[in-house]
Chains A and B, each alone.
Chain A
Amino acid sequence: MTNREIILGRIREALKVAAPHPDFHELGRADLPVGPDARQRVPTAPQKWLPPVGETLAEQVELFGRNAEDLKAEFHECSGLSEVIQHVKKLSADGGWKKIGRHRGEFTDPVARELGLTEVRTDKGYAVKDLESCDAALTECEALVAQTGSVLVSAPSAGGRALSILPPHHVVLARRNQVVPDLGVALQRVQEKFKDKFPSFMSFISGPSRTGDIERILVLGAHGPKKLTILLLP
């Protein structure tokens, strides 16, 4: 017998006896029927777990911004590419950037061109030590989640796995129509987009890297970026 057969065999044997309904132990519900077919379903989906995100995109963008800032990310709504470029130039000047990492993209291309810094482009692979010494990373994303202030990145949309986690400052360039109400919609969108051919990597980024492991005191930049900036194009 293979290990798989051993384990699945144990599972099937175990499941021959039905387990009580989840509410079984609650007062007054001890009489609920037992067994997998007798389960009374509590509607589980679709449901909005967290507070209402607002009906309009404008409200959702505003909520995204608030949540992202609560997470200690920086968020700016820009009127267009030139304002984005201005912002990034300022970040670069303030941060003393000498080298940035980025991938090719509709927005990363013009922004990087205007920045004119040495760059490590990850699209066709890169040397780890080159990426490691970058001062910032410039990426795009799959979606911005209003309800949590999160950025959803993937390997294709953000230049691979390491680009958005290794350099100390991560700058995200996103479009307004990438703002989605909640995590559920974000996941739905990627399911629709990729169907069966998912990237091997997707990540919800919620603020810069952090830890509270030392006396519960919040320290940013534990391993991942210390700074996260999200710039929104119309």
Chain B
Amino acid sequence: MLPDFAAQNPVAAELEKAIPGALIDAKSPTDGLVLYISSQFIAAAGNYMKEKAGFERLTAITGVDWWPREPRFEIVYFLHSIKKNARLRLVVRAKESDPIESVSRVWRGANWYEREVFDLFGVQFYNHPNLERIMMPSDWEGYPLRKDYPVHGHKYSYQDE
């Protein structure tokens, strides 16, 4: 069930009306609204936000790893409306095995941000034009920003060479 404030909030209520079942939860911390979106609806919800709700800018996409909690990933989409001077976050919760639909058809700028999330967290995006590693070398093993990836130490020893 949605909290009461989500039903009263116009953006959340309109989204719920336009795409039934997309909205799972909503929160309102000090810095704007946070909407939790069901993972299969993220591209549709993004499209709605851009075309109807006026959030024309996708500022960034990032991930948060809550390992060992399941589902472990939260993918966070930061939206911005210049006309309304408002900011909003969309959050999708995903398991390690869940692919998520890319929003790069909605906002072209999502391309690199999704590549970064894929590179550092190992989250798969489908319908992405070019899902390759962006920060790490293309033959890198593992996903550095996962919580079970070590911070220190290295795999290879150069002492014996």
Partners in one complex: no
- Residue ranges of B at the interface with A (Cβ–Cβ < 8 Å): none
